[in-house]
Structure 1
Amino acid sequence: MRLTFASYNIHKGVGLDRRRDPDRILGILREIDADVIALQEADRRFGTREAVLSRQAILEHSPWRPIAPNGAMTGRGGGARPASIGWHGNVLLVRREIAVDAVGAVPLPTLEPRGAICADLRVGQARLRVVGMHLDLSGLRRRHQLQAICDHVERCAGAAPTVLMGDMNEWSAARGAFRGLEEGWRLLAPGRSFPARRPVAQLDRIVVSGEWQVEDLGVHHSALSAVGSDHLPVWARLALRPA
């Protein structure tokens, strides 16, 4: 089984031209054409914090569907709201033919609203787990948050090949949050993704469990992605190792 995973901080849909353009974001996602996508900053900042990309637009103009944490639409804890399609601005999109067994919100230790989404998926007979996240600007809190996510994955029912991805706000692979990654996790470096105009930092990362073989990975550069957000999308094409 081969799947492409992508992560994109869409900056609330506001591009470098200061225009909020959901259609442009959808166009960028169609260019990437990943099977599973994690979005960050996918809600508006104020008011009802409605989703930048409407559920209807995603269903009508893309091959994906948004999957929300179970019970997320209740707004419990302030992370999800009726007009949102995710949790604290994190959204997971999956191709419609991919089965979704479970979706849950992962509360993170922080002083400001942060969170992650964990989903158990099925492609044919193969099970996999994916987590989309947006970590803190504080190095200490980032480390605690990544540890909380890894602990959550460990507590999930049944082991499964896992992909963690998102805007991890970590400038160094050798220090900070990634130092605490336990054996069995592999940190991928698709490339520099921030700031979009002249990328110097690899803030957007993908972490995989040992069952995955990396076939290709990179940063998505295009005319649209150059102005669509302050981040560039990152992606990885992965295959499950033979059992």
Structure 2
Amino acid sequence: MIRVATWNIHRARGHVGLPRPDRILAVLAELRADVIALQEAQHYFRRATPMLPEAGLAEIGLVPLRVDPAQQGFRSNLVLARREARLLAPPRGLKLGGWEPRGAILVDLDLGQGPFRLLAAHLSLGAARRRAQAAALLAAMDPALPTLLLGDFNEWRPQGSALAVLAPVFGRPALVPSFPAIRPMLPLDHILGHPAGLVEAVALHDTPAARRASDHLPLLARLVPPWRFGPAGATSTA
């Protein structure tokens, strides 16, 4: 079973106060995920300074997939994978624009059960911009690869802006309230898969440690091994 997660870590600040990367590491250890997309995981003005200590990540078996060797993250996004993951191509950064510059990380991975494309994104607050960003993410897909799309979409309406653009390809998402962490009401964070059936059992990771660590709670899901799918998304019998 492949476990995937997404989490907006709010610059490791919890709800208020000074950054506490140790709290983030504790929750990452709880998640026990094979690949994790983090948002708000990079300093704005000190981008060369890692937000999360890499020695601490290594202790829980995770490594950052760097777009730029000089930066741990890319436009506040960070993808972590277990050290056994196989990179099929170097990670790429996608600039998604916006008043507060948004972006995504694209990486082709094999976690031991077949290749897939991961797109980890943080979308804008404005609906029109989110629609354009969702279209850019669709354009970044590879028809030859199953696609895992996850992150903070800042969208809770099933037919609203970004989700409406993504729906013809990814279908209707599981709407799991993840914000605010102290009383989750809005499903701003999403884990989507293509073809249908790639992602299952999307659930909230709601623990006392997670509620203290950020203003969002993490989402977890299972990734069905990609080799089960044929080119048109049908289940393979091979």
Question: TM-score, normalization: structure 2?
Answer: 0.88
Q: CA deviation at 1:92?
A: 0.5
In structure 2, the gaps of 5 or more residues are 229-234
Q: Give 1:63's match in structure 2, choosing from 40, 61, 64.
A: 61
**Distance (Å, rounded) in 2 between the aligned partners of 1:6 and 1:205:** 9
Residue number in structure 2 paired with 1:76: none
With 15-24 and 34-43 compared, the bigger mean Cα shift is at: 15-24
Change (3 A) 1:206 1:215: closer
User: Are 2:88 and 1:89 aligned?
Assistant: no
**Distance (Å, rounded) in 2 between the aligned partners of 1:29 and 1:138:** 30
Question: TM-score, normalization: structure 1?
Answer: 0.87
1:143 corresponds to which letter in structure 2? Answer: R
**Distance (Å, rounded) in 1 between the aligned partners of 2:92 and 2:26:** 28
Q: CA deviation at 1:56?
A: 2.9
- SS at 2:193 equivalent: strand
Change (3 A) 1:230 1:107: same
Change (3 A) 1:196 1:51: same
Q: CA deviation at 1:188?
A: 2.8
- SS at 2:11 equivalent: helix
1:35 corresponds to which letter in structure 2? Answer: D
- SS at 2:141 equivalent: helix
Q: CA deviation at 1:52?
A: 1.3
Instruction: Provide Cα deviations, 1:105-129, integer angstroms capped at 9, x if missing partner.
Output: 1111323311100000013361111
Residue number in structure 2 paired with 1:77: none
Does the CA-based 8 Å contact 1:215-1:239 persist in structure 2? yes
Does the CA-based 8 Å contact 1:188-1:208 persist in structure 2? no
The size of the alignment, in residue pairs, is 227
Aligned CA-pair RMSD: 1.8
User: Are 2:100 and 1:112 aligned?
Assistant: yes
Change (3 A) 1:182 1:218: closer
Q: Percent identity?
A: 37
Residue number in structure 2 paired with 1:22: 21
2:85 corresponds to which letter in structure 1? Answer: I
Does the CA-based 8 Å contact 2:191-2:202 persist in structure 1? no
5 Å matches for 1:11-160? 11-48=10-47, 50-59=49-58, 61-69=59-67, 72-73=68-69, 82=70, 84-102=71-89, 103-124=91-112, 126-154=114-142, 159-160=144-145
**Distance (Å, rounded) in 1 between the aligned partners of 2:175 and 2:218:** 10
1:85 corresponds to which letter in structure 2? Answer: Q
**Distance (Å, rounded) in 2 between the aligned partners of 1:42 and 1:205:** 17
1:134 corresponds to which letter in structure 2? Answer: H
1:62 corresponds to which letter in structure 2? Answer: I
Structure with more strand by fraction = 1
**Distance (Å, rounded) in 1 between the aligned partners of 2:157 and 2:50:** 31
Q: CA deviation at 1:187?
A: 4.1
